[in-house]
Structure 1
Amino acid sequence: MKPLSLIVSVGTLIALAGCGLVAKSQSIEHPSQGVYQIEALAAQNFMQQASELDREMLAYCQVNNINKVQTQWHKTMSAWMALQGQERGPEKALEKAWSIQFWPDKKNTTGRKMTEILAADEYWTQEAISQQSVTVQGLGSMEWLLYDENSSISTSPSSCATATVIARNLASNAEVIAAAWGENPWLELDEKAWTAEYISLLSNQLEYSMKKMSRPLANYGKPRPYFAESWRSGTSMKNLKENIAAMRALYLSKGDGLDLILRRNGHNQLADSIDRQFSTALETWPVDKSLFDLLQSKEGYRVAYAQYNKLEQLKYLIHEEVAIKLGVVIGFNATDGD
């Protein structure tokens, strides 16, 4: 079953696979090639969206149309969801990923740091911003500038100038990540090693997405809404839907995708279960309220927890069932034991 909403924003990436964006990789025959193309295209898309955010931020400071730059910020954040939480891939891309997003911002660290740099009697350059904490150089700082009531971006020319520098730095880092994905990092792996790496890639991203829910959900009756991602813009649930769509794209990768690997090894029922779970999660995922808003009531908490259970089921199927059926060992990621 391959229903309509295969991907949310990531769908365009697969469609672009034949457009030459990663042309030099298309002639290489390796089991990882389909997954690599999706990842490389996701990195290209993120770079393009970050570059557009850079342009929109500069335009905002000239004409003050905040709706356009907010829309582009969300497009950039959505593009990042395809790469978020990865522990596998090119070393340079993984090294640069830390600078893209600070989360969770449970103690308003971003707000405090942004207030400090905006109050400083200093003309900020891209180089200077790149030496600062991730709290002031990533997507979270842009969100604070665009959505937080304490932001002075609409009234202070110096704040707007600093915002353009932050946007330029973000775009520059996105360029590094896209360049790092210019070559397939998995070509030296044999088929068994690649299969383990592939499942670990999916598992790592899934576990990161689960953390984005489990931390705010915390203990029943004592949620921690400020642990939610993008709580200022109210887009946390939309982000998570993008995460799920991106993972499903990887699972159904053309060529030697995990869905085909399972079916080729006689595990059609398991493949159907995973595909169905992805489809159900995407089709029923609520995006009309943010996770922050849901956690303000008992009913909202139950709705959020029901979504978390969908991810739990995916984790069981991929991390446990697939690993057992294919006889591979799943690597641990940075969130384990957290």
Structure 2
Amino acid sequence: MRHLTAVFLLVLAALPDRAGVDRALDAHILPGFARFAVAAGALGEAARADCRASTLHAPFHAAFDAWMAVGDIRLGPSETGALSVAFWPDPRGFTRRALAGLIAARDPVARDPATFATVSIAARGLFALEMLIHDPEFARYDQGDYSCTLARAITADLAAQAQALERGWREEFAPLLRNAGSPGNATFLTPAEAMRALYTQVIASLEFTAGQRLGRPLGSFERPRPRLAEAWRSGRSLRNALLASESAHALATALADTPLPRSDAALARVREAAAAITDPAFQDITDPVARLRLEILQQAVRALKSAIEAEIGSRLGLTAGFNAQDGD
């Protein structure tokens, strides 16, 4: 009887972890990857119909929006798979050089979807497409040009990557998280490990947004670096920071088993700070007033991270572990 009681107590202790993991998967992660697969597929179809830059702007933004809901999750299939979907930061300009090299050589790899997946990750994914269709150096092409063929190759490859990520999460990795602690599960030995792994994604995402998405363009007061902003060519820098913050909050909410009033209020302040920024590409931050507004947004994102740590991390005894974006 004592043995059965001990087992029952252990099961009860694991229930909040299992429930939080299930909610995170069912309410946020799996639907997010499914939506990204649909949006990336629509982008590929749009490019097949008309691969000119201007016609791809709307489906590009739709696909990028969908990606931002799950793009900061660097776990399981996404630990390496996300790199070729979103190769950023790129401080050395590898994407520009990779695209220029393919175009100058009229490399036949763009005509073969199977082999295009082997090219440098700098020439693949959302940021390669952003440069191709939004940078004036690349975007002035017509139907029949090599760059049009390249746009089709990038979008087809992106759609294939999105499908692989969705399938990998749904069929392989989600079951490992759900069945943490089960016999034969060497990835997650306890439900608490699965919970901690997902919690780490929340904290790492907010750290990445504050330190990289906002910190890189801020640079220093003497030397701001607006051209280091994420997706500035397509005017998505602010939108990406806001979507990433909202996604981190949504994942935290799914993990939690109680209301998060402090985190909810912190997210509202993030949105308020974002609404005060006038240039969505952060290209105006050489102006002290614009810089201050971006710094306020950065502080608000960090405050959101602190709120989530207090309401989830401290209460559940969780600390963030290693994340694939650490050290970027």
CA distance change for structure 1 residues 47 and 288 in 2, over 3 Å: closer, same or farther?
farther
- Residue by residue over 1:126-164, the C-alpha shift from the partner in whole angstroms, topping out at 9 and shown as x without a partner, is 223211111111111111111111115523622101210
1:231 maps to which residue? 232
Which of 280, 283, 288 is the equivalent residue of 1:290? Answer: 280
Alignment equivalent of 2:269, drawn from 274, 280, 287: 280
RMSD (Å), alpha carbons: 2.2
In structure 1, the residue matched to 2:215 is 214
Q: Partner residue of 1:7?
A: none
Please say which of residues 165-174 and 176-185 is displaced more in the overlay. Answer: 176-185
Match of 1:249 in 2: 250
Q: Which runs of 5+ in 2 are unaligned?
A: 1-17, 181-189
Q: TM-score, normalised by structure 2?
A: 0.82
2:145 and 2:106 map into 1 onto residues whose CA distance is 13
1:72-151 equivalences in 2 (<5 Å): 72-88=59-75, 91-123=76-108, 124=110, 125-151=112-138
Structure 1 residue runs without a partner (length 5+):
1-28, 264-270
Aligned-partner residue type, residue 193 of structure 2: A
Matches within 5 A, 1:1-338: 30-37=19-26, 38-61=28-51, 64=52, 66-88=53-75, 91-123=76-108, 124=110, 125-151=112-138, 154-155=141-142, 157-183=145-171, 184=174, 185-189=176-180, 190-210=190-210, 211-253=212-254, 257-258=255-256, 260-261=257-258, 271-286=260-275, 288-319=278-309, 322-338=312-328
Structure label with greater radius of gyration: 2
Q: In the alignment, is the contact (CA less than 8 A) between 2:124 and 2:157 conserved in 1? A: yes
Equivalent residue of 1:221, what SS? Answer: coil
Change (3 A) 1:290 1:107: farther
Provide closer, same or farther for how the CA distance between residues 31 and 324 of structure 1 changes in structure 2, counting only shifts above 3 A.
closer
Query: Is the 1:244–1:282 contact (alpha carbons within 8 Å) kept by the matching residues of 2?
Result: no
Contact persistence 2:273–2:300 (CA under 8 A):
no
1:274 is displaced (CA, Å) by 0.9
Instruction: Judging by fraction of residues, say which structure has more helix.
Output: 2
169-178 vs 91-100, greater mean Cα deviation: 91-100
Distance 1:297 1:273 in 2: 32
Q: How many residue pairs get matched?
A: 293
Partner of 1:9: none
Q: 1:321 and 1:223, CA in 2 relative to 1: closer, same or farther beyond 3 A?
A: farther
CA contact (8 A) 2:68 2:247 kept: yes
